Structure 1
Amino acid sequence: MADESKNRYLQYLQLVTGPLEEKKRWWQYKARIKHLPDNYRTAVEALERYLMHFGPADGAGAMAMYEDLADLFEQSAADRTPIRDIFGDDPVEFVEAFMANYPLGQYRTRERNRFTSAIDRAAEQDRTQ
């Protein structure tokens, strides 16, 4: 009976907070970033903020993106690649190209579809007036 209650609690917790495995992956990613040299960590944290607002993925897709980001910067730090050599002259161009490698998350896909449908309905009203 105790195992059944524990399983229900974990199911409820995951429903409210999201999958526990994704949270573990997130904290592993954050631990990796924490060990980067200061300048690389600063760049990753800035990129992370941008991705939080404009990134295409959520859930497992987002974690794959962040893990790839950690891989990139760990390797760049090991090779002592200058920050400008990673980002180029236009950091936004870099991050947009980086994001293009990942699928849209479910939330963003749903909202894009909702937005497109609303515009289609509004445009249809123009034609019928």
Structure 2
Amino acid sequence: MGIKDIVEGKKQWREHMARVKALPPDYEIVYREMQKYLFKVGPVALSEGNLLSEIVDFFEEGAANGKGVLELIGTDVAAFCDDLIKDSPTYADAYQQSRSAEHAAAEE
């Protein structure tokens, strides 16, 4: 990863966060909670894909339609996030698999 990639990544992140800040206050609060939760859980798709941008797209559409954020996702933010990433491996899964492989190799 070169300097240009880092600069471009930061630029994209700032643009993304500007979109988040433009959301209605309740949407922004829920988005930030989802972001914290997803960063903790660590789905691999988070760094490889557009999951956070897709959430903002979804929220922008909901806000444009006059819906409250809890109408879109329900009252359990963590359950909604878990449902989003249910088929995605997490970094914890990858770590567990590598440890299991190391343990199996050590037993041989």
Q: Indicate conservation of the 8 Å contact 2:63/2:69, yes or no.
A: no
2:29 to 35, 42, 62: 42
Aligned pairs for 1:6-45 within 5 A: 11=2, 13=3, 19-45=6-32
Query: For residue 99 of structure 2, what is the aligned residue in structure 1?
Result: 115
State the identity as a percent: 24
**SS class of match (2:43):** coil
- C-alpha spacing 1:42/1:120, structure 2 compared with 1 (3 Å): same
Count of matched residue positions in the alignment of Structure 1 and Structure 2:
106
Query: 1:111 Cα shift?
Result: 2.3
Determine the C-alpha separation between the residues in 2 that align with 1:26 and 1:51: 16
Structure 1 residue aligned with 2:77, among 91, 100, 110? 91
- Greater Cα radius of gyration, structure 1 or 2: 1
Structure 1 moving runs of 4+ over 6 Å = none
Scaled by the length of structure 2, the TM-score of the pair is 0.75
Tell me the TM-score normalised to structure 1 length.
0.65
Paired residues of 2:73 and 2:80 also in contact (CA < 8 A):
yes
**More RCO (CA 8 Å, sep 6+):** 2
Which stretch shows the higher mean deviation, 18-27 or 78-87? Answer: 18-27
- Contact 1:36/1:74 (8 A) holds in 2: yes
- 5+ residue gaps, structure 2: none
